[in-house]
Amino acid sequence: MVTVNGEQAADAAGKTILDYLTEHGYPGRYVAVECNGEIVPKATFEERVIQDGDTIEVVRFVGGG
């Protein structure tokens, strides 16, 4: 099982990061992705395949002081 932003994502394993983000409507241009605590460089979103057991964080900017 893969965990994305704290929730189980049954359909994630085997997909590239880019495909997963696009399918789920994440605004790819505006997010940063961390996989198992390591940053996934934007340039590798296309190649990086999500493995079973991965924990993924997708973050974006929001208002803040």
Q: Is 8 in the site for another protein (CB under 8 A)?
A: no
Q: Is 64 in the site for another protein (CB under 8 A)?
A: yes
- What are φ and ψ of residue 28, in 5° steps? -50, -35
How many Cβ atoms from other residues are within 10 Å of residue 63's Cβ?
4
Size of the site for another protein (CB under 8 A): 24
Smaller CB separation from another protein, 49 or 60: 60
Of the candidates 54, 43, 50, the residue with the CA atom closest to the CA atom of residue 17: 50
> Which residues would be at the binding site for another protein (CB under 8 A)?
5-6, 24-27, 30-34, 37, 39, 41-42, 57-65
